[in-house]
Amino acid sequence: MVINKNIAFNPIDTFECGQCFRWNLNDGVYTGVSGGRVCRVKNRDFEFSPSDEEYWNKYFAFNVDYADIQKRLLKADNTLKPCIDFGSGIRILKQDIWETIVSFIISANNNIPRIKKIIETLCHMYGEEIVFDGDTYYAFPSPKRLALLSQEDLAPLRAGYRDKYILDAAAKVASGEVDINSLYSMSDEDARKTLMKIKGVGRKVADCILLFSLGRFSVFPADVWIKRILNNIYNIENDKIIDFVTQKYGALAGYAQQYLYYYYRSNEAAQINGD
């Protein structure tokens, strides 16, 4: 499958902007696993099982008009222009909610290579095998599978204190104490509160889950880095950030966050002081 040339998409922008951890680059081809399915992406050419086309169309949100989103963001804030120009190929993915919960628990106070290694080890050890084009991959393990494990079982991940958070998430989701399917019909605030019942899920991790799996595009995940960006660019104090982005970007705040985060994290040499 080759996507329409008018659809905004660049695999580097999309897979390297910090929203996902199971896409790996080898010889110019990104290979990803989601929902028990495998996809390969080279430039704008996609390879996957024909029966999975609907899944991947939804995953990549190919029905979303990014040209319109970018135009509306620039109208609200022209300061975003270099960020949008740099990351114009970003698409916010609609990821599996269970995988997103565990992935962002693992991401807390961690770096991307280590996050990816922990997740791949977890999948290799406890996920079901998937054979695609003669190669073997591993699905993300279900909450029921992980709920049967102990911290000792997770020791090979070398995830440290996050082990107990992964197990807590698995136990609460498997038992129904946290009903992840009900999140889709909840308000942002109720969904956030429900997610925060899980140990290791604070406001920022919950907001990443809302944005990257539930498609709540008015949500603006704010970690230390994004707070620093807004402090420097807009002179906004930390306790005023959510009100500021809500008023400035409204329903598009999540898109603005990704453009800001990707641009300034990718251009650390320039930093955020106007150099």
Spell out the domain ranges in the chain.
Answer: 102-212
Q: What is the pLDDT of residue 97?
A: 97
pLDDT at 12 over 60: yes
Q: Are 206 and 196 in contact (CB under 8 A)?
A: yes
pLDDT at 83 over 50: yes
Residues 6+ apart with CB under 8 A from 220: 207, 226, 241, 242, 245, 246, 249, 253, 254, 256, 257
With the C-alpha atoms ordered 124, 61, 96, 189, is the resulting torsion angle positive or negative?
positive
Q: What is the mean pLDDT of residues 161-167?
A: 97
Q: Are 198 and 101 in contact (CB under 8 A)?
A: yes
State the catalytic residues. Answer: 204
pLDDT in tens, 193-226: 999 999 999 999 999 999 999 999 999 999 988 9
Angle separating helix axes 66-76 and 241-249, nearest 10 degrees: 120
C-alpha 216/C-alpha 37 separation (Å) is: 24
Distances (CA, A) of 83 to 15, 73, 80: 16, 11, 5
The percent of residues in the chain predicted with pLDDT above 90, rounded, is 89
pLDDT at 54 over 70: yes
Q: What is the pLDDT of residue 267?
A: 85
pTM value is 0.94
Q: What is the pLDDT of residue 226?
A: 92
**CATH 1.10.340.30 is right for the domain spanning 102-212:** yes
Q: Are 48 and 37 in contact (CB under 8 A)?
A: yes
pLDDT at 273 over 90: no
Q: What is the pLDDT of residue 3?
A: 73
How many other C-beta atoms can be found within 10 angstroms of the C-beta atom of residue 144?
12
Q: What is the mean pLDDT of residues 153-180?
A: 97
